[in-house]
Amino acid sequence: MTKISLEMGSGGKLMRDFIDRSIVKTFSNPFLNKLADSALLPNKIGFTTDSYVVDPIFFPGGDIGTLSINGTVNDLIVSGVKPQFLSLSLIIEEGLELDTLNKILRSVKKAADEAGVVIATGDTKVVQQGQGDQIFINTAGVGSVMTEPDLQKIKSGDHIIATGTLGEHSLAIMLAREEFGMEAEAKSDCAPLNYLLPLWKKGVLWMRDITRGGLATVLSELSERLPFSIIIDEDHIPLSSPVQAASELLGIDPLYLACEGRALLVVPKEKTEQLLQEIKKDPKGKSAEVIGTVSDGTGKPGEVLLSTLSGGLRLLEPLTSELLPRIC
């Protein structure tokens, strides 16, 4: 009998297969079937949800509270929705220190203020010791639809931008777990992407936040839906030195590491320079880079090809199995 495995929550291919087979098959409807980061409801309302089970609940650069706001806010923003109201639902394990909870709630408040959203409704449940893990948080978000991104507008020659260095969130979680016998100066990139919102009106064609599964998975999911291939230049992928060093040390591909404050953008070639400058104006976007191009004739439609430092072309596959469970 098949059992649910950690891999099914990884954000990778196994998870998508499971979601396609179980969730989409059961609930099939035009809103859900798009499997976008947010659903676009009638009357220009955007709607999304995420549960956060990150372990540990505090990590360099943030905590489960920060994450539970930024993650949901970013899902709205990359869908063309201005985030406005969030719900906050807590599943607390009996025995959690009230001080710890209050610290998390203050992080939630601070992150909500920074992202300009109001916590409008909530719920609290408590489960017995050993039947949860300190705290799980769910947030759902609603906001007004500013634009409806249309994949059909993406054409050959369009550019791919990564808004910042990759993998810092995953690295921060690894370090916080102290499982890797490794020390490094790294903190999560966890942040709200509100600074990207105005770019929708300036010509951005598509956005996705780079979370579970990393850059490679986001690119694969994009290319699958395009009649083009995508070519990525390895030497333009922005990586901080701690992530580069840790990846080499542990033999991990940073293209599969998660961020919580970075996005992938598709932009029309003629607007690339202007949009890149706009992104770089914000401190969160200062390490943004043009990392690739939509089909230049190389590769088959649906493929993501990495033009490597050594001069070769490598096929990038989506994440299949979990690198790090519970990173968000």
Q: Where in 136-165 is the site for a second copy (CB under 8 A)?
A: 136, 138, 140, 142
Is 48 a binding residue for a second copy by CB under 8 A? The answer is yes
In the Cβ-directed half-sphere of 59, how many Cα atoms lie within 13 Å?
A: 30
Tell me which residue of 81, 86, 162 sits closest to 120, measured CA to CA.
86
179 interacts with a second copy by CB under 8 A = no
Residue 254: which of 292, 281, 214, 219 has the closest Cα? 214
Answer whether 137's CB lies under 8 Å from 40's CB.
no
Q: Is 15 in the site for a second copy (CB under 8 A)?
A: yes
Of residues 294-323, those binding a second copy (CB under 8 A): none
- What tokens does 289 get? 């880079």
Q: Residue from 20, 61, 81, 127 that binds a second copy (CB under 8 A)?
A: 127
Overall size of the chain counted in residues: 328
6 is an interface residue for a second copy by CB under 8 A: yes
- 205 burial via Cβ count (<10 Å: 0-12, 13-18, 19+): buried
Torsion of Cα atoms, 25 then 218 then 255 then 267, to 10°: 170
The one-character DSSP state at 60 is: T
Buried b or exposed e, range 262-286, using 16+ CB within 10 angstroms: bbbbbbbeebbeebbebbbebebbe
How would you classify the pairing of strands 118-127 and 81-93?
Answer: parallel
Under rule CB under 8 A, residue 128 binds a second copy:
yes
Q: Which two tokens stand for residue 193?
A: 């992407």
Number of residues interacting with a second copy: please give it, by CB under 8 A: 76
Q: How many CB atoms lie within 10 A of CB 255?
A: 24
Among 17, 123, 148, 273, binds a second copy (CB under 8 A): 123
State the Cα–Cα distance between residues 208 and 194, nearest whole angstrom: 13
d(CA 207, CA 77): 8
Of 328, 187, 314, 168, whose CA–CA distance to 254 is shortest? 168
User: Of 17, 20, 85, 301, which lies in the binding site for a second copy, with binding defined by CB under 8 A?
Assistant: 85
Q: Which of 56, 58, 101, 180 binds a second copy (CB under 8 A)?
A: 101
The binder of a second copy chosen from 20, 118, 274, 300 (CB under 8 A): 118
Interface residue with a second copy among 56, 58, 84, 195 (CB under 8 A) is 84
- For residue 250, state whether it binds a second copy (rule: CB under 8 A): no
Instruction: Establish if 239 lies at the interface with a second copy (CB under 8 A).
Output: no
Under the criterion CB under 8 A, does residue 18 sit at the interface with a second copy?
Answer: yes
Can you tell me which of 13, 53, 216, 293 binds a second copy, judged by CB under 8 A? 53
SS3 87: strand
Report, in Å, the least distance between residue 311 CB and a second copy: 40
**Shortest Cβ 111–a second copy spacing (Å):** 12
Q: Does 51 bind a second copy (CB under 8 A)?
A: yes
* Residue 59 binding a second copy, by CB under 8 A: no
| 196 contacts a second copy (rule: CB under 8 A) | no
Q: Using the minimum distance from each CB to a second copy, give the nearer residue, 96 or 218.
A: 96
Among positions 32, 146, 182, 245, the unique one binding a second copy when judged by CB under 8 A: 32
CB of 27 to a second copy, least distance (A): 4
Which residue from 12, 61, 62, 132 is in contact with a second copy, where contact means CB under 8 A? 132
Binding range to a second copy, per CB under 8 A, among 40-48, 164-172, 189-197, 260-268: 40-48
CB of 112 to a second copy, least distance (A): 7
The answer for 281, left when phi > 0, alpha when psi is -120 to 50, beta otherwise, is alpha
At closest approach, how far in Å is the CB of 322 from a second copy?
9
